Structure 1
Amino acid sequence: MTQAMDLNADLGEGSVHEADIMPFISSANIACGGHAGDQESMRDSLRLAARYGVAAGAHPGFPDREGFGRRELHFAPADVTGFVREQIEALKAVAAREGVRLSHVKPHGMLYNMAVMDEGLASAIARAAAHSGVRLYYGLAGEHSVMLRAARQAGLQAVGKALADRGYAPDGSLWPRSRSGTLLDQAAAVAQGVRLALHGRTTAVSGEPVAVPARTLCLHGDGPEAASLARALRVALETAGVWLSAPSPAV
């Protein structure tokens, strides 16, 4: 029996491979001026998404271009809500001019990683998404996900997200980047993506089984291998009977 899974990628960040990735994904998270992105890049990404029928979403991050949004920064919750909403609204304005409706929000980099464990931060981000009128929110998959709980409390539709190309810890969190095994090669990432889509679980880097009940799989879109991985994963998913489809807001 066919089942649906979304395949998303982080785009609009200056990668020359973006046009090669877009045909193989079903939703795109577009940088909108925090860690990367400007009016021109947002427009280009939105046009590509529209050309290939890909759902377009906002990918807000810390206002930290020098560190590409990957440095741990600390802001008051109101300030987080402010800069996240500002970024979403910037993309929303460009999307309106292009005739594209934004479907979702997925935080970037360290903003995302910190929100996984910080309920106050997660709530501040979710409030910004809700105020912007976007209904879907992509956050770390899991029964006890802080991000997804904050999204629901803000009135958003929470969408559990897994990473095909990252190793997992036994508790369902991502394996630390500082340790070996955090980044999977293409064959391992494809195999993990199919397991996650079909069974909602995978094997942790340390060997234990781990449940990851995801509706969307994420790929990093900023490397030369991204397009090859996107294509290989899409082919493997469809071969396994998985239909690629972006989530739709509940009526």
Structure 2
Amino acid sequence: MDINSDLGESFGAWRMGDDAAMLRVVTSANVACGFHAGDPAGILQTLRGAAERGVVVGAHVAYPDLVGFGRRNMDPASHELVADVIYQIGALQGLAAAAGTRVRYVKPHGALYNTIAQDERQAQDVITAILAVDPGLTLLALAGSPLVGWARARGLSVMAEAFADRAYNDDGSLVSRRLPGAVLHDAEQVARRMLQLVQTGELPSISGRRVRIEADSICVHGDSPGAVEMAQRIHATLSGAGVALRPFAV
């Protein structure tokens, strides 16, 4: 199983998360590309840290929304969205090369991630952008979403992910952050849930029903309170149960 986290999101004097600590725990790092968060110097520092720790790097592409942290819905024209995603991947590729590593996958962020999980037009735009840059890149997508099938139909390698710190609806979708109980904070509870996921392929929904989730990676949001402790507890719990932890992309 892979453990990933969203990193490189600090911006100037605004600090987001603890990248150095998280890089000691995760196997993959979704690194911001400057559209929703991150400045070039900070992104480069995170990439160097990933290279030193042997953590695989992915481009965390987003809508151009620094003020809203990429969590506001947008409806860009296709030519704009394709160009925006190409631009972000390319920028991260350059910084990654300077840091002694390379971009191996793409994981959309926030509102873009949630939109393309269901919106075929925007999903196809993101797929087109990835294929234009490097068809060998892997797409990290929401487990069970239509996006997985759309991307595979066009020849992209796709890995599915589950979210450690988010609650699920009965249909396997994520509970909206606007609703109570959407974000989980108890590290021990989260670790037990992730072990259950790995062992059974299921998680309890917010209503208590069993939901089938086929995931290749577990995400811990780097900006969540207690994110490092949560990732550490997941890592220890899975390792202690004999689960091999390794990046999904090589």
TM-score by length of 1: 0.93
Aligned residue for 2:170?
Answer: 170
Give the structure 1 partner of residue 21 of structure 2. Answer: 20
State percent identity of aligned pairs. Answer: 39
Aligned counterpart for 1:8 among listed residues 4, 7, 11: 4
Classify 1:154/1:37 alpha carbon distance in 2 versus 1 (closer, same or farther; 3 Å). Answer: farther
Q: Which amino acid aligns with 1:228?
A: E
Q: Is the 8 A contact 1:198 1:242 kept in 2?
A: no
Find the residue that maps to 2:47 and give its secondary structure: helix
Q: Is the 8 A contact 1:166 1:189 kept in 2?
A: no
Residues 142-166 of structure 1 show CA distances to partners (whole Å, capped at 9, x for unaligned) of 2xx2221222133211101100111
Aligned to 2:51: 50
Aligned to 1:59: 60
1:61–1:69: 8 Å Cα contact kept in structure 2? yes
Structure 1 residue ranges (4+ consecutive) displaced by more than 2 angstroms after TM superposition: none
Asked if the contact 1:17–1:224 (Cα under 8 Å) also holds between the matched residues in 2, the reply is no
Partner of 1:217: 218
1:135 alignment partner, one of 111, 134, 137: 137
**Secondary structure of the structure 1 residue equivalent to 2:98:** helix
Match of 2:150 in 1: 150
Distance, in Å, in 2 between the alignment partners of 1:11 and 1:71 is 19
Instruction: Map 1:62-141 to 2 at 5 A.
Output: 62-133=63-134, 134-141=136-143
SS at match of 2:37: coil
Task: Give the drift of 1:98.
Answer: 2.1
Gaps of 5+ in 1: none
Aligned to 1:182: 182
Matching residue of 2:242: 241
Cα deviation for residue 212 of structure 1 reads 0.6
Question: Which amino acid is 2:43 matched to?
Answer: M
Deviation at 1:66, TM superposition (A): 0.9
Q: SS state of the match for residue 181, structure 2? A: coil
1:206 is aligned to 2:207: yes
User: RMSD of the alignment, in Å?
Assistant: 1.3
Bigger mean CA deviation after superposition, 211-220 or 90-99? 90-99
- Paired residue secondary structure (1:88): helix
Change (3 A) 1:168 1:223: closer
1:77 CA displacement: 1.8
Residue-by-residue CA offset, 1:165-223 (whole Å, 9 max, x unaligned): 11001111001222222111222211111111222110101111100100000010013
Pairwise CA distance, 1:99: 2.2
CA distance in 1, matches of 2:189, 2:124: 34
Q: Distance in 1 between matches of 2:127 and 2:75?
A: 17
Q: Which residue identity is paired with 1:47?
A: R
Residue 16 of structure 1: CA displacement? Answer: 4.7
Contact 2:17–2:222 at 8 Å: present in 1 too? no
How far apart in 2 are the matches of 1:78 and 1:245?
36
What runs of 5+ residues in structure 2 fail to find an aligned partner? 11-15
Bigger Cα displacement from structure 2, 28-37 vs 11-20: 11-20
Q: Secondary structure at the match of 1:158?
A: strand
